Structure 1
């Protein structure tokens, strides 16, 4: 059946997008081995991404002609681009200077539970008992993996974990707050606009605080910056959008469970990172918790 083929294709695109997204942390850690600072590698990511999003924004500028878009809506796009892609990315890149790529992905994977909590406190959306138990389970898994890493790597793990958690919180805030804007602009256009805002924020940040010569890095740093921009940012962002359109956001949330697993595997291959059995158990607990949060009861047909 065509529906089955579409679903399978959507799952494949989702898995590919998640694996490519997961590669970002590994490539950032590889770049840090060449003594590049956080804002410089973030700048390279945005510099290489910027032309793609400019072209995409132009091509899709009339995607949603019937929507009434006011100046205040563009102001909110600027705000959410600042929070969701600039701040979240910056906190993530800073955190990666302190902790393993695999642990970063485990902590970052908390964002669906943070979305639930933000919806509960600000939008008064109820949390079911199953969701509440799942949230508790995910944080238990984080505690297990995190404290074992503290015992191994020392207090820097606290700093790294704090910044990655900030990244998860800011990204979750973006997801909660921008939901009403996406139907007005269309998902592709909104993503492109938000990323353009994020790029400009990084350009301003770099111009104010950085004294590093952008042309002083080794060729490996520029290559990694390009790969992060294209294969861990631009391409997966649209693969994920296509996947969600084909299989629904609920099914995609289940597919996204492969994220921490793929990061652990990639970090093991390219960074020689090894998680302890206790950390692997913690990661498994987190994944199970997120799946429970994401699962929705299927609607039965008469």
Structure 2
């Protein structure tokens, strides 16, 4: 079905909004750590509300596949936040986007098969486009310490594994059941490493952080986890990793609209290359499905 790739794109687009919301919260006087913690607190509360409205029974069958998703969701945000302490945001974004080829590598190892030529070319275009799109041309990487590289690539690796575990099907568990469990383990993971005291010291609800947390929980937890759990098992990790690269152009567009950040022609050119790479990946999948349908007809 063609709407499964669309679900991945929408989920990735929602992730692209997160960085701008965090910046807006920082302009309002909150720290990045507080914003990230509020994301998973409010995300868990939203997931519980969705689950309660649907009136489903909470099932623990298949929970061993859910725990890693929740932990990796939290670790991706923690690693990315730590990388920002050692390097510019533009370079951190480039390192995070290495999940495209890391995800493809994990998929190849898991399935013991190589990707198609169109996927290779898509990865190449995404990598080439990401460098100018993120403004990396103006960054001096010689001053970046080793810790920055480790945390940046760690975020990419965690995100790749997050996509991988999302690709595992679990027919016995409903999507809302899956969502509430993932958000719970993501909340626990984040609370251990970030600032859980915002829950009881008044920062979250008294000082208004909950507004940003609500937006972050929706776009950074509910939508992507819900949509990825539906779509990734259908189209696979390799294709999902490529389609998720749409996050960077969306992050740039939203930052221009809400933060009035300047974008150069070189960055726009990089975004165009990324979009073309994503389109090529989607087109290759369409051709693959048409070939499979023709085989079924002849058989």
- The TM-score with structure 2 as length reference comes to 0.72
How many pairs are equivalent? 283
- SS of residue in 2 equivalent to 1:52: helix
- Which residue does 2:202 correspond to in 1? 215
Using the alignment, how far apart are the partners of 2:250 and 2:185 within structure 1? 29
Using the alignment, how far apart are the partners of 1:292 and 1:265 within structure 2? 21
Structure-2 change in CA distance of 1:22 and 1:193 (3 Å): same
Pairing 1:64-83 to 2, within 5 Å after superposition = 69=61, 73-83=62-72
Q: Are the aligned partners of 2:14 and 2:220 in contact in 1 as well (CA < 8 Å)?
A: yes
Q: Are the aligned partners of 1:88 and 1:167 in contact in 2 as well (CA < 8 Å)?
A: yes
- SS of residue in 1 equivalent to 2:139: helix
Using the alignment, how far apart are the partners of 1:154 and 1:215 within structure 2? 42
- Which residue does 2:26 correspond to in 1? 32
Specify which of 176, 195, 198 is matched with residue 164 of structure 2: 176
The answer to whether 1:274 aligns with 2:262 is yes
Q: Are the aligned partners of 2:243 and 2:281 in contact in 1 as well (CA < 8 Å)?
A: no
Structure-2 change in CA distance of 1:110 and 1:188 (3 Å): farther
Q: Are the aligned partners of 2:34 and 2:195 in contact in 1 as well (CA < 8 Å)?
A: no
1:160-213 Cα distance to aligned partner (Å, 9 max, x none): 7764543232121122234334444244322321121111222233468x7998
Q: CA RMSD in A?
A: 4.2
Specify which of 289, 293, 297 is matched with residue 298 of structure 1: 289
- The TM-score with structure 1 as length reference comes to 0.71
Extract unaligned runs of 5+ from structure 2. none
Q: Are the aligned partners of 1:182 and 1:190 in contact in 2 as well (CA < 8 Å)?
A: no
TM-superposed CA distance for 1:27, in Å, is: 0.5
TM-superposed CA distance for 1:35, in Å, is: 4.2
- Which residue does 1:140 correspond to in 2? 128
Pairing 1:260-271 to 2, within 5 Å after superposition = 260-271=248-259
Extract unaligned runs of 5+ from structure 1. none
Structure-2 change in CA distance of 1:142 and 1:230 (3 Å): closer
The answer to whether 1:228 aligns with 2:216 is yes
- Which residue does 1:53 correspond to in 2? 47
Structure-2 change in CA distance of 1:79 and 1:63 (3 Å): closer
Using the alignment, how far apart are the partners of 1:143 and 1:185 within structure 2? 40
